[in-house]
């Protein structure tokens, strides 16, 4: 952190001549509001999928499910919208970058990016049971193992089925 430190001396009449009190005053840098991610309409479907690894339709569906939990109580200080939070997190997942890089791409600080990624990930995990289901019976388990073997030629692999929204590609 690059804070300006100003040092000044306080020489008091009541203290002895040998005692000089030095105080350090931290002067904060001014706030900088950087431009943020453009809305969904900025990229076409192909470019959007390349950047976020999901379609626009899927992102809108996710934001409908967790957007209320991500909404900030106030719009003061240029608050980050739920859509911007989700896009930052998806970009972090898709690229594998450091949080600082994802924050820079989204126009927020490193600490804000960390908080956003944590919050969005937590809310997605809380709703995970609505998205993914493991096979419940032995027959379902056998079908899943067999279908995955037919797709990828891996023996005895159990893959959770995506329940509500997404479909696995063959």
- For the chain, domain boundaries: 40-129, 132-162
Taking 50 as the threshold, does the pLDDT of residue 5 lie above it? Answer: yes
pLDDT higher at 77 or 115: 115
And the tokens for 77?
A: 């200080």
**pLDDT of amino acid 16:** 52
pLDDT given at position 69? 93
Are residues 87 and 106 in contact, defined by beta-carbon separation less than 8 angstroms?
yes
> Which pLDDT score, from 0 to 100, does residue 168 have?
47
Tens digit of each residue's pLDDT (9 = 90 or more) over 90-139: 989 988 888 888 887 788 888 889 999 999 999 999 988 777 777 888 88
DSSP 42: G
5: enclosing H helix or E strand: strand 4-10
Look at residue 27 and give its three-state secondary structure. strand
């Amino acid at each position: 952190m690059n804070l300006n430190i100003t040092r000044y001396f306080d020489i008091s009449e009541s203290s002895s001549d040998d005692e000089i009190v030095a105080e350090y005053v931290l002067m904060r840098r001014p706030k900088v509001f950087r431009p943020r991610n453009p809305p969904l309409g900025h990229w076409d479907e192909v470019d959007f999928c390349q950047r976020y690894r999901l379609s626009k339709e899927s992102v809108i569906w996710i934001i409908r499910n967790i957007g209320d939990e991500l909404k900030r109580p106030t719009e003061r200080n240029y608050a980050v919208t739920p859509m911007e939070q989700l896009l930052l997190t998806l970009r972090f997942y898709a690229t594998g970058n450091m949080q600082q890089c994802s924050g820079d791409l989204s126009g927020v600080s490193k600490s804000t990016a960390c908080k956003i990624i944590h919050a969005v990930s937590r809310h997605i995990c809380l709703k995970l049971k609505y998205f993914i289901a493991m096979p419940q019976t032995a027959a379902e388990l056998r079908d899943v193992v067999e279908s995955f073997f037919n797709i990828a030629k891996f023996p005895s692999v159990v893959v959770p089925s995506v329940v509500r929204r997404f479909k696995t590609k063959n």
